[in-house]
Structure 1
Amino acid sequence: MCLGIPAKIIAITDLANSLALAETAGVQRQVSVAMLTLKGKTIESLVGEWVLLHVGFAMALINQEEADRALDLLAQMDPDSQ
Structure 2
Amino acid sequence: MCVGVPAKVIEKKDYTALVDVMGTRMEVGILFVPEVQTGEYVIVHAGQGMSIVDRDFARASINEWEKMAHANVI
Same fold per superposition (TM over 0.5): yes
The residue identity in structure 2 corresponding to 1:26 is G
Contact 1:37 1:60 in 2 (8 A): no
Which residue is 1:30 aligned to?
27
Q: Secondary structure at the match of 1:71?
A: helix
The TM-score with structure 1 as length reference comes to 0.78
Distance in structure 1 (CA, Å) of the matches to 2:59 and 2:22: 11
Q: Structure 1 residue 67 and structure 2 residue 58: aligned?
A: yes
Distance in structure 2 (CA, Å) of the matches to 1:64 and 1:55: 21
Ranges in structure 2 where 5+ consecutive residues have no aligned partner = none
The TM-score with structure 2 as length reference comes to 0.85
Give the count of matched residue pairs: 71
- Give RMSD over aligned pairs: 1.5
